[in-house]
Chain A
Amino acid sequence: MEKSEKRNPFSRMMAIRGMGQVVTVTIGLIVLCIVFGILNPSFFSGKNVGNLLRQIAPTLITGIGQSFVLITGNIDLSIGSVVGMSCMLSATMMTKGINPWAAVLITLACCLLVGIINGELVARCKLPPFIATLGTMTIARGIAQIANNNYNTDSIGEAAEGFRNFFYYGKILGLYNTIWIAVVIWLIFNFLLSRTRTGRHIYAIGSNLEASKLSGVNIVRTTTKAYLVSAFCACVVGLIICATSGMGTMDAGNSYEMYAVAASVIGGVSTLGGQGILLGTVIGASIWGVLQNGLQFAGAPVAIRNIVIGIIVVVSVLMDVVLRGGKPRHRKEKGEAAKAEPK
């Protein structure tokens, strides 16, 4: 115990659970940046870096939400649709002349409702999270379509100028607001996850649901909180997209839930729960963004980009498994069971 007090800040940081994987993928990220920098020196130009960060922000924000849910041992497939729903609801209300900030609040309430429904279905009704959120995913997309009678909306107009600046075009200290929003959200939720009781409960139920229940953790409430974080993040991304394009598009956020899974998993969050830190999600989302941006910059067509990114997702997790001596980082019991089975 005394030892850990005396250790320097670096080794104390390295002692944080899951930091190992984060360091590995950070090295990967740096290598990627260098490669793209060599391929195209203007990759590091101020303008491109600004763009890159703006590209990363939505993936990071949804990734944070997905990480929360993954750490509880569940999954949230509804993220992409909630993004679309958020975008369409806010845009529709704004085109109908409702005050943009009131529209934002109403949208937020609707999105959080989806989070609550997800949490209740998964934790209280004990539906498999894959099925429950598949349902809410479809419903939320339906709401996005119905919001403006199956049409994308018109421009949200002059009245929403403040809204658009807040979420996208405004700049603080030379960086776009979108980036700051991502940073603030990360700071808040990272604190929530690593330092508070709720955060600890989220790790605990992902690691062992039954033991957590017997330790007095309220499973339903904790699970719902994780889904609420996820829905909140998706809502913010929807608003950012709305502010960016200045209109509502029905298929906004399509497959964002999967990008969010990718960002989380590349960053070391276990899909079986109980493991991962949000710093990893930042790196995961960055790798994602750098690949998109760098490949685009290098002139690779979309199809090639998809293939490369898919490979990176698998390889990054595989690398982690190999580096840990061939032992899957998931449940120990499972690993042992597999070993014991005669093959």
Chain B
Amino acid sequence: MELSHINKTFPGVKALDDVSFDLRSGEVMALLGENGAGKSTLMKVLSGVYTRDSGSMKIFGQEVGDLTPRKAQELGVAIIHQELNMCAHLSVAENIFLGREKTKGVLLSSREMNREARAVLDRLNINIDPETVVGDLAVSKQQMVEIAKALSTNARILIMDEPTSALTSKEIDDLFVIIHKLRDEGCGIVYISHRLEELQHVVDRVTIMRDGKFITSGNFADFTMDEIISNMVGREIKEKFPRVQCEVGRTILQVKHLNAGRMVRDINFELREGEIVGVAGLMGAGRTETTRALFGVDQKDSGEVVLDGKPVVIRRPEDAIRAGIVLAPEDRKKDGLCTKLSIRENIALPNLDILCSKLGVVDRKKEREMAAKAQKDLSIKMPSAEVDAGSLSGGNQQKVVVAKWLARNSRVVVFDEPTRGIDVAAKVEIYNLMNELKKAGIGVLFVSSEMPEVMGISDRIIVMCDGRITGELDPHKTTQNEILEYATRFESKIAKPQLA
């Protein structure tokens, strides 16, 4: 497959500027670039969602004209989106054959579909019953089903957009096995990811884009990590994990014996002034549930929260916000933003108590000032504060989520996976922001699945497994393996839980 000199202009933006890209069968090509570099646009041109303005496109040596998603599919191009597109109420087989149902006359032939679905799944060594309802599967399994769906259409070119962002290390390994298998069968795979550290396990060649332009391309082995990053960002990033040393002060937050269902069991920890506490663990370890219980989103069964020496009662998020504990949630589209409201309105939403007069009338001037200040402080790239929050790129959306919570004076800020799916430069900005908070004496709780960043930014690491805290580690002394060991201490395997 070969794309050359592709141009695509959206009103006001030149999204793709003379980009060329090629992919051979039997290889994995990484497509790298910052948020908004044009990776997704290029892939949408390839899969027929957008039509190009100019440039030529050859698939298997054959010139192709304007594509529609359907035509692209017939040519063997399949795309697996970052956000999974599955009908949660239907079964695995039904999802795989959605839109291409096998029928006998007018009747659906479920048995045949189940059988073929099983064949595809077996080919990938995926152990899923095709009759399971998709909503009951873990995210990682759902992703496998997406891949199976793509393969069942006899795809020869497979585009994976951030396939690992929701997976745990173990699941990522499984995914890589599948990718290798597909590659060996002769598929061409385009692999888009922000997690540079995983590329070495899976990628043959890389193409780097920046600001809608093709920058460079070549064998992965010929690049160093630093070269890749500086090509992506267009400048050197000095420190991937800037760390600031602070005097550790008084205890701000104490959580005692917090219980909330099965995923939050007897959680105890402390947060002190001038420190960032990282929370590590595998997917489903109960970290998000713990933050939600602390913040009052989910019902607590028992437990005490002490803030600045005073016990506080948190039944609803309002109580937590009033007390000075705020949470920047994990899934920005689902939990973080009202995508149809403007950026200004999103930033104002949790702060309306500050922005409103006694009668509850919003002070628009103050509101605009708050949005302008947030834009400046976090360098959010946006045309104006009045555009829909949903129209921003991922990294900038994340900054808006963070901005919502920094606009007020809080004592404790909880970040749940703040860097998921955003590029290196934006990550560093988020880290710097956390460091600013730390310097200002605000307690920062930092939940993350990416071990290098937990180790690089935190001053202390709490490891969770299966709803319990299984260890507390010093990031200067620990290793990824040690964290992983604590993160997999399931109850059945240990006679006596050892708490460090």
Contact with B along A193-205 (1 / 0, CB 8 A): 0011111110110
On chain B, the residues within 8 Å of A213 by CB distance are 297, 317
Partner pick for A214 among B79, B317, B340, B360, CB 8 A cutoff: B317
Task: Tell yes or no: B216 within 8 A of A by CB.
Answer: no
Is A217 part of the binding interface, using a Cβ–Cβ cutoff of 8 Å?
Answer: yes
Contact A196 B336 (CB under 8 A): no
With contact pairs A196-B362, A339-B69 given, residues A215 and B349 touching in the complex (Cβ less than 8 Å) = yes
Q: How far is the CB of B150 from chain A (nearest CB, A)?
A: 10
In whole angstroms, what is the CA distance A207 to B371 when docked?
19
With the chains together, A332 CA to B338 CA distance in Å? 12
Say yes or no for A126: interface residue by CB 8 A criterion.
Answer: no
B59 at interface, CB cutoff 8 A: no
- Inter-subunit contact A274/B338 (CB<8 Å): yes
Bitwise interface map of A from 222 to 260 toward B, beta carbon under 8 Å scored 1, else 0? 000000000000000000000000000000000000000
Q: Does B368 interact with chain A (Cβ within 8 Å)? A: yes
From residue 67 to 81 of chain B, which have CB atoms closer than 8 A to chain A? 69-70, 73, 79, 81
Q: Are B338 and A207 in contact (CB under 8 A)?
A: yes
Contact B335 A210, beta carbon cutoff 8 Å: yes
Cα distance A15–B322 in the bound complex, in angstroms: 33
A311, CB-defined interface residue at 8 Å: no
Return the CB mask of B358-389 against A: 1 if under 8 Å, else 0.
01111010001001100000000000111000
Q: A196-B356, A196-B360 are in contact. Are A207 and B340 (CB under 8 A)?
A: yes
Q: Is the CB of B345 within 8 A of A200?
A: yes
Q: Which A1-31 residues sit within 8 Å CB-CB of chain B?
A: 1, 3-4, 15, 17
Of A212, A216, A343, which is in contact with the most chain B CB atoms at under 10 Å from its CB? A216
Docked Cα-Cα span, A80 to B336, in Å, equals 37
Interface-central residue, A4, A197, A210, A336, by most chain B CB under 10 Å:
A197
- In the complex, what residue of chain A is closest to B149 when comparing beta carbons? A342
Q: Is the CB of A274 within 8 A of B340?
A: yes
Q: How far is the CA of A208 from the CA of B335 in the complex (A)?
A: 8
The answer to whether A196 touches B339, judged by C-beta atoms less than 8 angstroms apart, is no
What is the size, in residues, of chain A's interface with B at 8 Å between Cβ atoms?
37
What is the 8 Å Cβ interface bit string for chain B, positions 66-97, against chain A (1 contact, 0 not)? 00011001000001010101000000000000
Please determine whether A216 and B360 come into contact, CB atoms closer than 8 angstroms. Answer: no
Prevailing SS type, chain A contact patch:
helix
User: Inside 8 A of A204's CB, which chain B residues have their CB?
Assistant: 338, 341, 345, 349
B376 to chain A, nearest CB (A): 10
Known: A212-B349, A217-B349. A343 touches B70 (CB 8 A): yes
A307 to B123, CA, bound (A): 56
Cβ distance A228 to chain B, nearest Cβ, rounded Å: 15
Check if A333 sits within 8 Å of B386, measured CB to CB.
no
B364 to chain A: which residues have CB within 8 Å?
195
Check: A337 CB closer than 8 A to any chain B CB. Answer: yes
Residue of A nearest to B334 (CB): A210
A197 to B: closest C-beta gap in Å: 4
Is B341 in contact with A203, judged by CB distance below 8 angstroms? Answer: yes
Of A208, A211, A216, A337, the residue contacting B318 (CB under 8 A) is A216
The answer to whether A216 and B321 touch across the interface, beta carbons within 8 angstroms, is: yes
User: Shortest CB–CB separation between residue B455 and chain A, in angstroms?
Assistant: 28
B352 CB contact (under 8 Å) in A17, A200, A333? A200
A125 in contact (CB, < 8 A): no
A residues 322-343 near B (Cβ < 8 Å) are 331-333, 336-337, 339-343
Is A275 interfacial (CB 8 A cutoff)? yes
Is the CB–CB distance between A342 and B100 below 8 Å?
Answer: yes
Inside 8 A of A4's CB, which chain B residues have their CB? 368, 384, 386
**Distance in angstroms between the alpha carbons of A274 and B18 in the assembled complex:** 39
* Given known contacts A207-B338, A211-B336, A342-B98, A197 and B70 CB-to-CB distance under 8 angstroms: no
User: Is B350 within 8 A of A341, CB to CB?
Assistant: no
Residues of chain A lying within 8 A (CB to CB) of residue B73: 342
Tell me, yes or no, whether A40 is within 8 Å of chain B by CB: no
- Name the CB-closest residue of B to A17: B342
When distances are taken between beta carbons in the complex, the residues of chain B under 8 Å from A212 are 338, 349
Indicate if the CB atoms of A342 and B360 lie closer than 8 Å: no
> Min CB distance, A204 to chain B, in Å?
5
Q: Which residues in B have their C-beta under 8 angstroms from that of A200?
A: 345, 348-349, 352, 362
**Is A48 an interface residue, CB under 8 A from the partner?**
no
Q: What are the interface flags for A166-205 relative to B under an 8 Å C-beta threshold, 1 for contact and 0 otherwise?
A: 0000000000000000000000000000011111110110
Q: Which residues of A contact B322 (CB under 8 A)?
A: 216
Q: Which residues of B contact A333 (CB under 8 A)?
A: 83, 333
Bitwise, B212-233 to A at CB < 8 A (1) or not (0) is 0000000000000000000000
A218 at interface (Cβ–Cβ under 8 A)?
Answer: yes
State A216–B410 Cα separation when bound (angstroms): 14
- Chain B residues lying within 8 Å of A217, measured Cβ to Cβ, are 349
Query: What B residues does A214 contact at CB under 8 A?
Result: 295, 297, 317, 327, 329, 335-336
- A341 interface neighbour in B98, B320, B384, Cβ under 8 Å: B98
Note all chain B residues with C-beta closer than 8 A to A3.
Answer: 384
Please pick, from A203, A211, A337, A341, the residue contacting B334 in the complex, using a CB distance under 8 A. Answer: A211
A203 engages B316 (CB within 8 Å): no
- Provide the residues of chain B in CB contact with A341, threshold 8 Å: 85, 98-99
**Are A1 and B368 within 8 A (Cβ)?**
yes
In the complex, what residue of chain B is closest to A16 when comparing beta carbons? B386
A-chain residues with CB within 8 Å of residue B341 when the two chains form the complex:
203-204, 207, 274
The residue in chain B whose Cβ has the minimal distance to the Cβ of A338 is B85
Interfacial chain A residues near B321, Cβ < 8 Å: 216
Contact check, B362 vs A211: say whether CB atoms are below 8 A apart.
no
Contact B336 A342 (CB under 8 A): no
A-contact 0/1 string along B270-300, CB 8 Å cutoff: 0000000000000000000000000101000
Answer whether A211 and B338 are a contact pair too, CB < 8 Å, given A196-B362, A197-B356. Answer: yes
In the complex, the chain B residue whose C-beta lies closest to that of A5 is B368
Instruction: Give the residues in chain B near A331, CB-CB below 8 Å.
Output: 339-340
Please determine whether B362 and A215 come into contact, CB atoms closer than 8 angstroms. no
B254 at the A interface (CB under 8 A): no
Chain B proximity of A71: nearest CB distance (Å): 11
16 pairs across A/B with beta carbons < 8 Å?
Answer: A1-B372, A4-B368, A195-B364, A196-B362, A200-B362, A201-B352, A203-B341, A210-B334, A210-B335, A211-B337, A212-B338, A213-B297, A214-B317, A216-B316, A339-B69, A342-B98
Sort A-B residue pairs by CB-CB distance and give the 10 closest, nearest first: A207-B338, A215-B350, A216-B321, A208-B338, A197-B360, A216-B318, A197-B352, A342-B99, A207-B340, A274-B340
A1-B385, A337-B85 given; 16 more Cβ-contact pairs under 8 Å: A1-B368, A1-B371, A1-B384, A197-B360, A198-B360, A200-B345, A204-B338, A207-B341, A208-B334, A211-B337, A214-B329, A332-B340, A339-B49, A342-B69, A342-B100, A343-B99
